[in-house]
Chains A and B, each alone.
Chain A
Amino acid sequence: MNPTGTALITALLLAATAALAALVFPAAWRARVVGTLVAGTGSSGVWAGAAALSGHGWDADLPRLLPLAGMRLAVDSLSGWFLLLIGAVAVAVGVYTIGYAGPGGRGAGSRPSLSLLPVFVGALLLVPAAGSVPTFLLGWELMAVTSLGLVATEHRHHAQVRSATVWYAAMTQAGFVTVLIGLTWLAAAAGTDFTAVRATAGVLSPAVKNAVFVLCLVGFAAKAGAVPLHPWLPRAHAEAPSHVSALMSAAMVKLGVYGLVRVGFDLLGGGPRWWWLTIAAIGALSALYGIMQAAVATDLKRLLAFSTSENIGLILLGVGFAGLYNVEGARGLAALAMAAALLHTLNHAGFKALLFLGAGSAVKATGTRDLDQLGGLSRRMPATTMLVAAGALGAAALPPGNGFVSEWLLLQSLLHQPGAGAVLAIAAPTAVAVIALTAGIGVATYVKAVGTGFLARPRRAAAAGATESPPSMIVAMIAVALACAVLAVLPTITLPAIGRIVASLHLVSPPLDGGLTAIQLSGYTTRFWPLWLAAAIVVVTGLVAVLARRFGRARRRAVAWDCGDGPLTSRMEYTATSFAEPLQRVFDDALAPERDVDVTHHEESAYHVQAIAYRQRIPDRIENRFYQPLLRAVERLGLAGRGLAPGVMHRYLAYMLTALIAVLLAGVIR
């Protein structure tokens, strides 16, 4: 069997053995064994992805495995890319779990959590490898269910974990239902096997194609956490144990994007313009709203979760514009936009996994996720702080980081207009404005996260008592940081693979060349040297520091200038809330924070105030505007429903009688 097949089968087998091992081994050894096996699954996933990307397509038919339709696996270059991405994240998470789950048998190290983790990774690998609609749906539902179990790992400790799990379960299953209807409709119209679907996609009636696309769009956008369907994301990612939220945020949400690209470009073979405009619009909305909520979030993992929504928004913008250009006939630019989107999926997987693992190590050491209580970790946990800073550099899309490369590519694809039609003439500048504002606020968000969360003095005893995480967590994070560095400095190593994927999506290969060290738009003078840029920044900084050191005298440690009176306490430091206050005031009407101030006066006179309580909460407006009324309506329906069954015996018999009569009448009338 060719390499892709062997690699994928070994990955799935390893996952199965890891799941069993988790049940068998005692608590002390469980984390170590499962961690290594998950890392093994991940590395064979990477091997499968790499083999698929280098041209070894593979498909296998296992009819007996599933009763009705049998299982069909088909790995082409597109699924190879996502296998590689998921495998890489799984390797890091596997090694990280060894330290994070730790010897104790509770929480992340408990038997159910550690047995579900490999099954989750296996399901993640199964979805892109699926070759037929039933297998895809199986993998999708398996992934949803196992991740649900993992999110609920610590439901005994906190109440909000339970509410997060309920939200997550409801929205994931609702999303799955829409995908189920969409794909089964497609299968009914064009056959269950992907190759059959591709063949008959051309003859499908536009109405069916539009309906299938809309249903799949809703389901996949929900899984990807795009904004109108995002409420589960900040809850699930914040409450899940960090290694799980790293897997979910870096790998699982990407399968939403994979679904969209597979259905939109590959199976249905492109569609009318409004398809891609909706995707781009959803992308823009997710990017802006996600980063605005992240900018004012004070919970570290909630901030990272909303930032995932933002990056998914950017990716969807890339996919949307790829479709738009394709419809306009500018296949070169379409390929460029798709290349930017794909590269950003990998870059985002890199820096987001690093950030979540770093956040996990900080939360494990300090016990709290609230940025207003952290601080001072740079001296207590130097390795974690530097690694989180490296991740933040990538996430904020600043030059030497890997986020900047894919954002640069995305902007380039928007700057060049192919003899613009009216739609593109308006869409492209607005998209550039959205990306720019998102990047700007994103930088502010990550300065807040790193600055208030890790630097200066600890604000609470929990942060003061923090100690560095166990080595296996640091090693995992270093590995991911190195991967991000390679992606930042040599992004061109991914270009041949992206070229092959884009070609398989009926697009021309992207107009990018310029050898190993430069990204050059062929036919234009736009070029950019990620390698030399990063090297220049490092070298010149070193030179300047050394030259300056030669001039003056030694550095002196002195108490910070406190205007002459009492020592500066940690309460005087800027917290995450105060840091984000100007931004929140600027976007006040978009965020609509809820402030309630209640003043308790002295009994004797109303003029003397005893205590003032001030609470401010920034609600998720989209959730309040759409989801709360929906929930209330469902509740009212439920209450009304309860009235139907008051426990009166003959009320039930009456229902049966009327039903019987109705059926008979129907029989009679027809």
Chain B
Amino acid sequence: MSNEVSGQLLNLCCGLFLLSAVGVLWRRQVSSLITLLVVQGLALTGIAGLLAAQRHSPEVIGVAVGVGALKVGVVPWMLRRVHNRVPDARETRPLANVSASLLAAAGLTLLAYAAARPLVALAPSASAHATPVGVAVVLIGFFLAATRQRAISQIIGVLLIDNGIAAVAFLATGGVPLIVELGASADLVLAVLVLQILTSRLLATFGPTDLDGLRELHD
């Protein structure tokens, strides 16, 4: 594959990566969120694969495969299992309504680009120019976690942050050493496990896991 084609493919994947994050903000049903998450997983795997291809290093390919399996396979499956047992499908009252969320996403992306400039200046390789996308997705994931009522939406927010971080890692350094990736994903798995247990216990004791319901616990 010529360099230039892989470059275009890479930009395509990053665009898809960012769009999926914005889509997550847009949609309300949890099921559509999960599919968007899968898309983002695919985009991330694409980025990793393309970079591995450029570098021709088997190690990065292994990492890409691991990431793909995890982000596309394991996590969405677990989410769907949790989602099936939890009846509240729709995100009823998000704190910030959709239009405000989208505007915020735009603002955050601009900020990501401005903030990532010194990062890019460090190693001005072709792929590095796309790192702001990863940073943007991190900010968007954060925003999602901060403004959604449902526990599951917050989990998805955390997952977005993790994808963002992975993307930045891949794009900035052109391939992430295996250990770093393993560590990140181990955290991820742990986070998902804990949240899953948490939501199921919440479900068992309180019924709908509307976070506002949690407020009474505190006062």
Is A650 engaged at the interface, CB distance under 8 Å to the other chain?
Answer: yes
With A657-B142, A660-B142: A650-B111 Cβ-Cβ less than 8 Å: no
Q: Which of A206-214, A294-302, A662-670 contacts B (4 or more CB under 8 A)?
A: A662-670
| Bound Cα distance A661, B115 (Å) | 9
Q: Which of A507-515, A550-558, A641-649 contacts B (4 or more CB under 8 A)?
A: A641-649
Q: Which residues of A contact B146 (CB under 8 A)?
A: 650, 653-654, 656-657
Please report the total number of A residues contacting B with Cβ < 8 Å.
15
Closest to B108 in A: A661
Q: Name B193-215 residues within 8 Å CB distance of A.
A: 211-212, 214-215
Q: Are A661 and B154 in contact (CB under 8 A)?
A: no
Q: Are B217 and A650 in contact (CB under 8 A)?
A: no
Closest to A647 in B: B218
Q: Which residues of A contact B148 (CB under 8 A)?
A: 650
Q: Which residues of A contact B139 (CB under 8 A)?
A: 657, 660-661
CB distance from A541 to the nearest CB of B (A): 75
Q: Which residues of A contact B117 (CB under 8 A)?
A: 668
Is B145 engaged at the interface, CB distance under 8 Å to the other chain?
Answer: yes
Q: Are A647 and B215 in contact (CB under 8 A)?
A: yes
Q: Name A618-670 residues within 8 Å CB distance of B.
A: 646-650, 653-654, 656-657, 660-661, 664-665, 667-668
Q: Are B147 and A650 in contact (CB under 8 A)?
A: yes
| Bound Cα distance A457, B109 (Å) | 88
With A654-B146, A660-B142: A649-B114 Cβ-Cβ less than 8 Å: no
Q: Which residues of B contact A661 (CB under 8 A)?
A: 108, 111, 139
| Bound Cα distance A668, B118 (Å) | 9
Q: Are A648 and B215 in contact (CB under 8 A)?
A: yes
**Majority SS of interface residues in chain A?**
helix
Q: Are B154 and A649 in contact (CB under 8 A)?
A: yes
Is B182 engaged at the interface, CB distance under 8 Å to the other chain?
Answer: no
Q: Which residues of B contact A657 (CB under 8 A)?
A: 139, 142-143, 146
Could you say which of A647, A653, A668 contacts B114, with CB atoms under 8 Å apart?
Answer: A668
With A660-B142, A661-B111, A668-B111: A647-B154 Cβ-Cβ less than 8 Å: no
Q: Are B143 and A647 in contact (CB under 8 A)?
A: no
| Bound Cα distance A656, B161 (Å) | 13
Interface extent on B, as a size class?
A: 20 to 34
Q: Are A668 and B214 in contact (CB under 8 A)?
A: no
* Residue in B142, B214, B217 with the greatest tally of chain A CB atoms within 10 Å: B142
| Bound Cα distance A646, B148 (Å) | 17
Could you say which of B108, B114, B211 contacts A648, with CB atoms under 8 Å apart?
Answer: B211
Could you say which of A649, A653, A665, A668 contacts B142, with CB atoms under 8 Å apart?
Answer: A653
Could you say which of B115, B142, B145, B149 contacts A667, with CB atoms under 8 Å apart?
Answer: B115
CB distance from B205 to the nearest CB of A (A): 16
| Bound Cα distance A657, B101 (Å) | 14
| Bound Cα distance A664, B110 (Å) | 11
Closest to A661 in B: B111
Q: Are B145 and A653 in contact (CB under 8 A)?
A: yes
| Bound Cα distance A243, B114 (Å) | 67
Q: Name B140-182 residues within 8 Å CB distance of A.
A: 142-143, 145-149, 154, 157
| Bound Cα distance A650, B147 (Å) | 6
Q: Are B115 and A664 in contact (CB under 8 A)?
A: yes
| Bound Cα distance A657, B144 (Å) | 10
Is B219 engaged at the interface, CB distance under 8 Å to the other chain?
Answer: yes
Q: Are B115 and A649 in contact (CB under 8 A)?
A: no
Could you say which of B111, B143, B214 contacts A649, with CB atoms under 8 Å apart?
Answer: B214
CB distance from A644 to the nearest CB of B (A): 12
Is B190 engaged at the interface, CB distance under 8 Å to the other chain?
Answer: no
Q: Which residues of B contact A647 (CB under 8 A)?
A: 214-215, 217-219
| Bound Cα distance A660, B140 (Å) | 12
CB distance from B143 to the nearest CB of A (A): 6
Is B95 engaged at the interface, CB distance under 8 Å to the other chain?
Answer: yes
Q: Are A650 and B218 in contact (CB under 8 A)?
A: no
Q: Which residues of A contact B112 (CB under 8 A)?
A: 664
| Bound Cα distance A11, B162 (Å) | 62
Q: Are B211 and A649 in contact (CB under 8 A)?
A: yes
Q: Which residues of A contact B214 (CB under 8 A)?
A: 647-649
| Bound Cα distance A640, B211 (Å) | 23
CB distance from A648 to the nearest CB of B (A): 6
Closest to B153 in A: A650
CB distance from B25 to the nearest CB of A (A): 14
Could you say which of B118, B142, B154, B215 contacts A646, with CB atoms under 8 Å apart?
Answer: B215
| Bound Cα distance A336, B216 (Å) | 71
Closest to A655 in B: B146
Q: Which residues of A contact B154 (CB under 8 A)?
A: 649-650, 653
Q: Name B39-65 residues within 8 Å CB distance of A.
A: none
CB distance from A197 to the nearest CB of B (A): 43
Q: Which residues of B contact A653 (CB under 8 A)?
A: 142, 145-146, 154, 157
Closest to B113 in A: A668
* Residue in B117, B146, B211 with the greatest tally of chain A CB atoms within 10 Å: B146
Closest to B112 in A: A664
Q: Which residues of B contact A667 (CB under 8 A)?
A: 115, 118
Closest to B117 in A: A668
Of the A-B pairs whose beta carbons lie under 8 Å apart in the complex, a sample of 8, sorted by A's number, is A647-B214, A648-B211, A649-B214, A650-B154, A653-B145, A654-B146, A661-B139, A664-B115
Question: 19 more A-B contacts (CB under 8 A) besides A657-B146, A661-B111?
Answer: A646-B215, A646-B218, A647-B214, A647-B218, A647-B219, A648-B211, A648-B215, A649-B154, A650-B145, A650-B146, A650-B149, A650-B211, A653-B142, A656-B146, A657-B142, A660-B139, A661-B108, A661-B139, A664-B111
| Cβ-closest 4 pairs across A and B | A647-B218, A653-B146, A664-B115, A654-B146
